[in-house]
Amino acid sequence: MGVCASSQITRQSGSTDWPHTAKIIHLDGRLQEFKQPIKTRHILSQNPNSFLCSSECMYVDCHVPHVPEDEELQLGQLYFLMPISQSHTSLSLQDLCALAIKASAALSRSDAKKTSAFLDKNGVKFPTGIQECFQTPTGFSATGGMKSQVGRGNQRIEF
């Protein structure tokens, strides 16, 4: 099974260049960005029957921890709005891959104005220079980026 994961945008010098915004991927795949910290409570009041989770706290075969309502979203972080019905279910590798694809598509649409883009063989649009594809056999974990230490039962998808 081939898994594609988008890494962070990098400058020519190779250092990470995330714009300083808190990014939320909505249920419909829409990207919403905030230039200033905002409380989770405000986002949830506009999205009933949903909860927020940080992309950094999502693991295979684990429940997704909710971002507390009184917590401020951190600039430079990526969050997902998830249906409340999924709050007590474990995430599968397929679930994480679907979220990675959704995030990659939303981020590439956002960056389309800034960078040239190309279509992969499936017609998915990715900004030039930030796509990494990995061939992952069934039953193994998939990861991208620098944090690639993954053990069984502690599997993680890195964006």
CATH number of the domain bearing residue 56 = 3.10.20.30
* Number of domains into which the chain is organized: 1
Residue 89 lies in a domain: yes
Residue 36 lies in a domain: yes
For residue 80, what are the β-bridge partners? 25, 53
Distances from the Cα of 144 to the Cαs of 69, 111, 155, in angstroms?
30, 20, 12
Distances from the Cα of 130 to the Cαs of 8, 12, 82, 90, 126, in angstroms?
7, 12, 25, 29, 7
pTM of the model: 0.61
The residue segments making up the domain with residue 76 are 2-135
Q: How many CB atoms lie within 10 A of CB 9?
A: 16
Mean pLDDT of 27-52: 94
* pLDDT of residue 103 exceeding 50: yes
- pLDDT reported for residue 119: 54
